[in-house]
Amino acid sequence: GAVVSQHPSWVICKSGTSVKIECRSLDFQATTMFWYRQFPKQSLMLMATSNEGSKATYEQGVEKDKFLINHASLTLSTLTVTSAHPEDSSFYICSAARLAGDGELFFGEGSRLTVL
Amino acid sequence: QKEVEQNSGPLSVPEGAIASLNCTYSDRGSQSFFWYRQYSGKSPELIMFIYSNGDKEDGRFTAQLNKASQYVSLLIRDSQPSDSATYLCAVQYSSASKIIFGSGTRLSIRP
């Protein structure tokens, strides 16, 4: 149990286009999902906290108009990278906390974005 | 000051020996502490979590927490080559709050 699925697992796009990444909790409900970004040889940096039915909370330095987060249901959160640029190329990972759980995070497989 | 600090390594340990990974955190009110393992190009996977002061053992892994010193560690006994990975320490303030990761320690087990 406690599976988090992320899609797509990798994507290549042209500069200026937008890319949507989906994060689904397959067998549990998650009121809170977290979006992380990881550059090569660096740790996971929290981008935003996504709460079902409300606006996401962004970390300092993360542009909310560039990284649009929607958490429309208890099992789905989406991250849209708008007007992507090469510097947005990174490994994006979502994680979900189980409703009424013990705080453990379950991670998706990650989505590798390459912007040409 | 970083919220969660780890030595980046690499830490090289001979096969069969004990690997010791350390982590310090800045927020004294933190309540939950996690160790994740991450292989290159993959998502992190949870190894252990610990909430209370003292030791917690699970197979070859032992997590140690000292809240007074704001210190958490992970011991890996009988290290195997498959243990070679980056180990991420993570800290959570409360059960519903965000988890902050350290920069990770790269562990290499040499045969």
Q: What is the pLDDT of residue B1?
A: 57
Q: What is the pLDDT of residue A104?
A: 73
Q: CA of A18 to nearest chain B CA: how many angstroms apart? A: 23
d(CA A34, CA A32): 7
User: Over the stretch A95-105, which tens digit does the pLDDT of each residue have?
Assistant: 988 766 666 77
Q: Is B98 on the interface with A (CB under 8 A)?
A: yes
Of A32, A43, A108, the CB nearest to B96: A32
For residues B94 and B8, the answer to whether their CB atoms sit within 8 Å is no
CB contacts of A10 in chain B (<8 Å) are none
Copy the structure tokens of residue A68. 């649009």
- Which of B96, B97, B98, B80 has the alpha carbon at shortest distance from B37? B80
The residue whose two tokens read 């990650």 is A110
Region A48-77: what's the mean pLDDT?
91
Judged by average pLDDT, the poorest of A30-44, A78-92, A94-108, B2-16 is A94-108
Q: CA of A2 to nearest chain B CA: how many angstroms apart? A: 12
- Which of A62, A47, A31, A51 has the alpha carbon at shortest distance from A111? A47
Q: Is B43 on the interface with A (CB under 8 A)?
A: yes
d(CA A110, CA A112): 7
pLDDT above 90 coverage of chain A, percent: 68
d(CA B24, CA A94): 25
d(CA A47, CA A52): 16
